[in-house]
Amino acid sequence: MAAEAWVGYRNFFSFTLLALNGLRKIENVDSANSSNEHLPPPSNLNVFKEDRFTLNWTWSPSENILLNQGCNLKYRSMINEKTKERSKNLWRSEYKNSDPNDAVCLKVRAECVERSYPYGESHWIKNCTLLSPGDPATSVTNFTCVWYNKEYMNCTWQPGKRVPPDTSYILYYRYGNLKSDQQCHEYSYKNQIAIGCHFSKLELPKEGKIYFMITDSSEKIRSIYSDVDLDSILKPSAPRIANISRTSDNEISVSWSNNLWPVRDACLRSEVEYKGDALDVEIFPVDKNRSFIIRRKCFPDECCTVRVRVKINKYCLESTWSDWSQKESLGEDGGRNYDSSVIYLLMIPLVGAATIILIIFLKRILVLLFPPIPDPAKLFKGMHLEQNGVWQWTEYSEASVCSKPVKEETCSLVLMESPYTSSSEN
């Protein structure tokens, strides 16, 4: 009995001590919460650029904080009021990224943390730095990237409004596995100015972020910084419609194939666009399948058009939509019609043959409308041969024509002389 009583007294005594300690902690927390700035802040907040992409901040620890009184000291930092971090480190490193003001601001404060909940804190200290000097109108705009079917990536941009004419843009990039900055190897140009960069599959990581910097060799423009998540810019290739037919209920059955990397059907999300004779367009969502029956009547005397596009759903990686497939339709004869581009290809030789025929008929019409003028030399030559080389002109009242010569007659002529007398001399 005495032993049991002793155990009961000991348990009661232990419980009383725990309760008193809990009350003391609650009092400490309440007193800390009553003053939001009862801790001394850190000091000497500095920033420096480690390389083209990385900014490093350092600061000195808070002074006069008694860590042996239960303060688990950590430093909470925020970059541009967005990226939050809490750790015991006296430094922070971050990749550069574009900001509307082209400036990066970091603020940091000290906190006493208990089970991830701060019960004491200091006021913030702040340091802002300009990412790139220069005229904002000289930096590139509309920087975008598209990762096509995990095979290659194209990034494009537009030159600045007040860019110097001799500007030579340079794109640098970096991601986790790269130990140093890399430069674009294949630019695309417009008016002899670089406006894009092509990345092959071997130059890209399989996933994650890529960080970019676009500047120029002369450093006369303001550089821009950007980062992209590969999954967010992934664009699958367009599907191909494999079969389209009319069911017994005059509905349309369509199936398609995807030229994608190995991906589970559960990750696929498709859209089927239907257009009937009424020119109304409907889009039907399709999940996890590569075939669909459109529950709309398409009778044999109607023309119904279908096309498909695909994306990876949000449960896998949430890609962008692919381009639409080629249009396939069921015509008035109930059969499958090919895309209009095929019809255009067939029309090319027909148009060429019609053009040749038209040119021949036009030539005949021109001969009838505008007969050729005869050559006078040829006419006279024929008349000369007809008259054996003998012809003359006979003058009529108003015109001269050529006629046959009359018969030639010969007359005799007698010359008589009078005698020469002497009387005549006298």
φ/ψ of residue 402, rounded to 5: -95, 125
**Which pLDDT does position 111 carry in this prediction?**
85
**Inter-residue contact 153 to 146 (CB < 8 Å):** yes
Cα distance between residue 128 and residue 191, in whole Å: 38
d(CA 61, CA 67): 12
Q: pTM, whole model, 2 decimals? A: 0.61
Query: What are the pLDDT digits (tens) for 102-154?
Result: 678 889 998 887 765 566 788 899 988 887 777 888 888 999 999 999 999 99
Model pLDDT, residue 162: 84
Instruction: Quote the Cα angle for 85-88-93, to 5°.
Output: 50
What residue ranges of the chain have pLDDT lower than 50? 1-7, 9-10, 12-37, 68, 333-335, 337-340, 393-403, 421-426
Domains of the chain in start order, with CATH, are 43-130 (2.60.40.10), 136-234 (2.60.40.10), 239-337 (2.60.40.10)
To which H or E segment does residue 229 belong? Answer: strand 224-229
Report how far residue 305's alpha carbon sits from residue 329's, in angstroms, rounded to the nearest whole number.
Answer: 4
Using one digit for the tens of pLDDT, what is the confidence trace for 237-258? 999 999 998 888 888 899 998 8
Paired tokens of 292: 């669909």
Q: What are phi and psi of 154, to 5 degrees?
A: -120, 130
CA angle 216, 221, 222 (to 5 degrees): 110
Q: What is the pLDDT of residue 315?
A: 84
CB-based burial, 77-111: b 16+ in 10 Å, e otherwise: bbbbeeeeeeeeeeebebebbbeeebebebbbbbb
